[in-house]
Structure 1
Amino acid sequence: MFRSSRSLISLPVRSSHINVHTCSEGNSSIEGVAPICGTEPKEEPVKQYRVKAGGRLSLKEFDPDDTGEYKKNEQGKAKAKTETAKLIARLDGLQERLYAGATRSLLIVLQGMDTSGKDGTIKSVMSGVNPQGCKVATFKAPSKEELAYDFLWRVHREVPPKGYIGIFNRSHYEDVLITRVHGWVSDKVAKRRFNQIKEFEELLTESGTAVLKFFLHISKDEQKERLEARIADPEKRWKWNSGDLEERKLWGEYQKAFEDVILATSTEEAPWYVVPANRKWYRNLVVADRVVNVLEDMNLKTPPAPEGVDFTKLRIV
């Protein structure tokens, strides 16, 4: 293995993995719900999947088959796909303003177990954007040259410049996941890297790059079905990697490693979202919803026309 209130998704809050706080009046509030201080709590969709810094995290408490308010049938699937299409259309316009203004950028980090749908998420959610303003980076085992530098060197080179949306298909988090699971680095080194990653992402956000991190959460049974599909379908066999079977044997170790990493590096500025990904159509909806709302929160504007030009008098001959 190497919101805003505009959201289209309305999801129930489950207390099993929500962090509880106390406001000044002694009432409680939960992540994704406004503090209860003399007013009714207001649910903020999508945020139930957000991992709050300093809380706790057990992936077993997140249902990878969850579909929120959408029924697990063809009707629910069709409804979700319709909403996703609307979001992708909005994303197209937002990306154009992001590119034209060139004052901000967005980095999307995708992590997950093998077959969790990183490629599919990129293909679906980014299907409506202009490729000229989108940059995708895939991080495999580091090369000899990359190993000669610090672990973040190759990553920083791929960060999107202002005006761009960047997507990391796997990322710098591989250096605290596979390396730790296989014992290639000590826990001490891995935890030091946690802090270095947070400082790196803080630098990005302070420089104008919004950072969104998604863990695409699938069940072990779902992974089994997807691996079997790669074996059965000749059109999917190109994806086959025998190493996936060896990594699957370490499922429990990877789940624990992901819990540690996500909890340690989810910050207010660069949050992690645990996205239910058994059903691809719902996964795409959740990711698209969050991406669109983050871009809308940037309040992007189309740049003004050049000064001194009277467009009413221009004539093309």
Structure 2
Amino acid sequence: MADDYLVKPGKKAKLADRDPADTSAFKSEEAAKAQLAEDAAEIDRLQDRLYAEGKRSLLVVLQGMDTSGKDGTVRGVFNQTGPLGVSVTAFRRPSEEEMAHDFLWRAHMAAPKRGTIGIFNRSHYEDVLVVKVHKLAPAKDIDKRYDQINAFEKMLTENGVTILKFMLNISKKEQRERLQERLDDPKKHWKFNPGDLDDRKLWDEFQAAYELMLENCSTDHAPWRVIPADHKWARNAAISAIVRKTLEDMNPQYPKVTWDPKSFRVE
């Protein structure tokens, strides 16, 4: 499954060739939800071992257009995972302090420490997406950022951070329905941002920026995967399966103690 969604390093991304509504990886919605529940429970068990081991970490990057389901992925995939070893960072408009540093500074500050899973809800890639589309920095500076991001992620992986990057691929039609739902449901008004409509008008420009991001920053050490996001259940099931498999491959171990437990007795 992981390879089906992969953007192979050095290859074109071609988002138009990737169906946001694809559910072919699953026999049915019911089967996918059952798998998700099993995967979520196993992620929790593996995360406990990762925390106890305390030597490596996992970084999960979630990037996508508005309403693509970044928040929903965090809830759906990591809802059973204990909060002790998981951190979620939502990247919003940079603060004055963040603007006073290089664009990767806040990402490095939020990178997961050893023994933990870090989740980026949006990420350092905003600086080659929003910043590019809205022309918030000179084009020549943005062009340099792809290589700088690759070097940054390479440094993280060489220091024990495994990186999973997911682009949540939603269709323009599905986004319209989700935005309208936020307007129609008073309980979801808080989710609606009028600025989302401005970005929607720049849909084609964002798609082009995403393709450049995927093509320039899908590397052997930190490849991108494009996840169909029109169906929330399929999106969550696909990501949970990949996260679980990655943790299984990492195979964290509980540390062995240097003392004999049989030498002690609790009175």
2:17 equivalent to 1:67: no
Partner of 2:113: 161
More helix by share: 2
Partner of 1:314: 264
2:14 equivalent to 1:58: yes
State the one-letter code of the partner of 1:68: S
169, 175, 185: which one aligns with 2:137: 185
70, 76, 81: which one aligns with 1:129: 81
State the one-letter code of the partner of 1:240: F
State the one-letter code of the partner of 1:153: W
Identity %: 49
State the one-letter code of the partner of 1:123: R
Query: For 1:206 and 1:200, how far apart are their aligned partners in 2?
Result: 10
Partner of 1:147: 99
Secondary structure of the 2:11 match is coil
Q: TM-score, normalised by structure 2?
A: 0.98
Give the aligned CA root-mean-square deviation in angstroms.
1.0
Question: Alpha carbons of 1:268 and 1:128: their partners in 2 closer, same or farther (altered >3 Å)?
Answer: same
Query: For 1:237 and 1:135, how far apart are their aligned partners in 2?
Result: 27
2:179 equivalent to 1:223: no
Equivalences for residues 1-317 of structure 1 within 5 A:
45-70=1-26, 76-305=28-257, 307-308=258-259, 310-317=260-267
Q: TM-score, normalised by structure 1?
A: 0.82
Secondary structure of the 1:128 match is coil
* CA apart distance, 1:299: 2.0
State the one-letter code of the partner of 1:269: H
* Gapped regions of structure 2 (runs ≥ 5): none
Secondary structure of the 1:235 match is helix
Secondary structure of the 1:136 match is strand
Query: For 2:17 and 2:119, how far apart are their aligned partners in 1?
Result: 27
Query: For 2:101 and 2:188, how far apart are their aligned partners in 1?
Result: 35
* CA apart distance, 1:89: 1.4
Query: For 2:211 and 2:187, how far apart are their aligned partners in 1?
Result: 34
* CA apart distance, 1:313: 4.3
Aligned length: 267
Query: For 1:301 and 1:233, how far apart are their aligned partners in 2?
Result: 46
* Gapped regions of structure 1 (runs ≥ 5): 1-44
Moved over 4 A (4+): none
State the one-letter code of the partner of 2:243: V
Larger Rg: 1
Query: For 2:188 and 2:237, how far apart are their aligned partners in 1?
Result: 24
Partner of 1:41: none
State the one-letter code of the partner of 2:3: K
Q: Is the deviation greater in 186-195 or in 264-273? A: 186-195
